[in-house]
């Protein structure tokens, strides 16, 4: 039973996965009921849920039960040979990375909901803006990624 709604469960940082989907009070209630206190957290500033790693499969199943089309991303693992090669390449570069990709572009691309994406942009703008104590370079990167997404 698919409702056509998109959701994503993405590796965020060690031990945690980020949930990206539209606001759904029924899903929120089931999440709290099934996972128990301490196994999830909510960031009100970014309006994102985070789920502990052992519950990632249960989260994907819960989203499917609620009719979401789920995109799931495991943690990317680097082997030691790949890491050594990467470090060697970094030492040889003088003027910056050749294949530099704006990190905000990949973050915005992974958020399926346009309204949520815009809220994230506005929230981060309030933090990175030079008038609010942020850096001009970071703000330029954010604006560049946003303008590519919304020309």
Helix (H) or strand (E) holding 19: strand 16-21
Say how far apart CA 121 and CA 103 lie, in whole Å: 13
Entry pTM: 0.47
Number of domains making up the chain: 2
Q: Residue range 103-128: average pLDDT?
A: 86
Q: Are residues 113 and 63 in the same domain?
A: no
Query: What average pLDDT does the structure give for the chain?
Result: 77
DSSP classification of residue 99: T
Q: Are residues 16 and 69 in the same domain?
A: yes
* Residue 74, pLDDT above cutoff 80: no
Decide if 78 is inside a domain.
no
User: CATH number for the domain including 23?
Assistant: 3.40.1170.30
Domain around 67:
5-73
């Amino acid at each position: 039973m698919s409702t056509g709604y998109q959701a994503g469960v993405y590796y965020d940082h060690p031990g945690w996965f980020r949930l990206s989907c539209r606001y759904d009070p029924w899903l929120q209630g089931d999440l709290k009921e099934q996972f128990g206190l301490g196994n999830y957290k909510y960031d009100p500033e970014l309006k994102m849920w985070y789920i502990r790693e052992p519950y990632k499969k249960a989260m994907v199943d819960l989203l499917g039960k609620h009719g979401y089309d789920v995109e799931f991303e495991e943690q990317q693992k680097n082997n030691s040979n790949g890491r050594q090669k990467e470090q060697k390449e970094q030492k040889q570069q003088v003027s910056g990375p050749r294949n530099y990709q704006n990190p905000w572009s990949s973050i915005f691309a992974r958020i399926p909901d346009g309204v949520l994406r815009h809220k994230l942009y506005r929230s981060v703008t309030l933090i990175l803006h030079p008038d609010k104590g942020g850096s001009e370079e970071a703000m330029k990167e954010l604006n560049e990624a946003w303008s590519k997404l919304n020309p």
